[in-house]
């Protein structure tokens, strides 16, 4: 009985916080827009019983999905989001892995401080941090002023409102999500293993490649998903830093929902986004499971 409840608590949690809202979104995505509150129809009228339910179901259709498929704006937005999420995940990894690695190499007494520094940005609101990037990257921003002053450049760089700004924003925002799991994996690594590899004829670099990388792979995979998944649906960063040039599905979704007040289309966009995300989420879960097994 205890076992039963233990298993079911997470499922109840999942059902309440994910499945039910998702089903509501699916329902809306199958509806039509209407000038009403809420702005779609049909509305389910349970007072009419069975007939009402049938009438309600009869009014649902896949019109919105057909619309999404036909208008190439959406496809481009999905693809562009995938591209931006992929590239920023790779960039984050390239920056984050060395950070995590050097943290584990730092003297024991420094590690808590370094860990604290990684988490520290979370103490400020995410929005404020993104806004401050606007101040840094803008035409008259700190970065341009510094580079001009150093005579590295003669004209201000245009970074704001370009994909570059979006990459910078995403890498900056999600870096801790990547550093922490990799740090955790590297921290567990037994130094004797590297010594054993060297003893058996590996150079330092080779030992890193053959021992450190594979043994931190779970951390790498976990960290990458923790960056990729939210980056794919990201909308604050592209709206604030990317300007009109960057097309991301999160932004499209926001506009459909708030500017056009087209809830059904926005819901359809969200449903497809989720279907795209389900693949990496399942892969992520599999990775976590494998990790647990290999530690077992």
| Residue 248: burial class (beta carbons within 10 Å; 0-12, 13-18, 19+) | buried
**By CB under 8 A, residue 196 contacts other proteins:** yes
Count of chain residues binding other proteins (CB under 8 A): 21
Closer Cβ to other proteins, 159 or 182, answer by number? 182
Using DSSP's 3-state secondary structure scheme, residue 61 falls into coil
- Interaction residues for other proteins, span 210-229 (CB under 8 A): 210-211, 214-215, 217
Least distance (Å) from other proteins to the CB of residue 178? 21
**Residue 32: enclosing H or E segment and its boundaries?**
strand 32-33
Least distance (Å) from other proteins to the CB of residue 217? 8
Distance in angstroms (rounded) separating the CA atoms of residues 263 and 255: 10
The dihedral built from the CA positions of residue 267, 272, 276 and 279, taken in this order, carries a sign that is positive
From the list 13-21, 31-39, 137-145, 199-207, the region that binds other proteins by CB under 8 A is 199-207
Closer Cβ to other proteins, 45 or 199, answer by number? 199
One of 8, 195, 209, 285 touching other proteins (CB under 8 A)? 195
**By CB under 8 A, residue 255 contacts other proteins:** no
Distance in angstroms (rounded) separating the CA atoms of residues 101 and 179: 9
CB atoms within 10 A of CB 247: 20
CB atoms within 10 A of CB 207: 20
Distance in angstroms (rounded) separating the CA atoms of residues 76 and 261: 21
Closer Cβ to other proteins, 211 or 253, answer by number? 211
**By CB under 8 A, residue 192 contacts other proteins:** yes
Q: Are 40 and 32 in contact (CB under 8 A)?
A: yes
One of 82, 91, 130, 193 touching other proteins (CB under 8 A)? 193
From the list 56-64, 152-160, 175-183, 204-212, the region that binds other proteins by CB under 8 A is 204-212
Distance in angstroms (rounded) separating the CA atoms of residues 250 and 272: 12
One of 48, 102, 145, 203 touching other proteins (CB under 8 A)? 203
Q: Which residues bind other proteins (CB under 8 A)?
A: 190, 192-193, 195-203, 206, 210-211, 214-215, 217, 294-296
């Amino acid at each position: 009985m205890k076992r039963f409840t233990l298993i079911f608590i997470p499922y109840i949690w999942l059902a309440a916080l994910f499945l039910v809202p998702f089903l509501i979104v699916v329902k809306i995505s199958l509806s039509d827009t209407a000038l009403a509150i809420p702005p779609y129809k049909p509305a389910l009228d349970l007072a009419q019983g069975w007939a009402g339910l049938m009438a309600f179901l009869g009014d649902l259709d896949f019109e919105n999905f057909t619309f999404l498929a036909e208008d190439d704006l959406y496809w481009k937005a999905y693809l562009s989001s995938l591209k931006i999420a992929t590239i920023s995940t790779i960039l984050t990894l390239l920056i984050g892995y060395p950070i995590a690695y050097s943290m584990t190499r730092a003297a024991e007494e420094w590690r808590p401080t370094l860990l604290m520094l990684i988490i520290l940005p979370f103490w400020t609101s995410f929005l404020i941090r993104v806004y401050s990037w606007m101040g840094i990257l803008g035409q008259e921003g700190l970065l341009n002023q510094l580079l001009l002053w150093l005579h590295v450049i003669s004209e201000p760089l245009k970074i704001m409102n370009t994909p570059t700004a979006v990459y910078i924003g995403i890498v900056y925002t999600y870096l801790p999500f990547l550093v922490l799991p990799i740090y955790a994996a590297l921290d567990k690594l037994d130094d004797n293993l590297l010594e054993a590899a060297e003893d058996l004829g590996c150079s330092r670099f080779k030992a890193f490649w053959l021992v450190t990388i594979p043994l931190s792979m779970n951390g790498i995979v976990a960290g990458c998903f923790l960056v990729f998944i939210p980056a794919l649906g990201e909308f604050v960063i592209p709206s604030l830093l990317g300007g009109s040039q960057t097309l991301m599905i999160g932004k499209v979704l926001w506009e459909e929902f708030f500017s056009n007040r087209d809830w059904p289309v926005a819901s359809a966009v969200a449903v497809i986004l989720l279907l795209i995300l389900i693949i990496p989420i399942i892969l992520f879960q599999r990775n976590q499971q494998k990790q647990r097994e290999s530690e077992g």
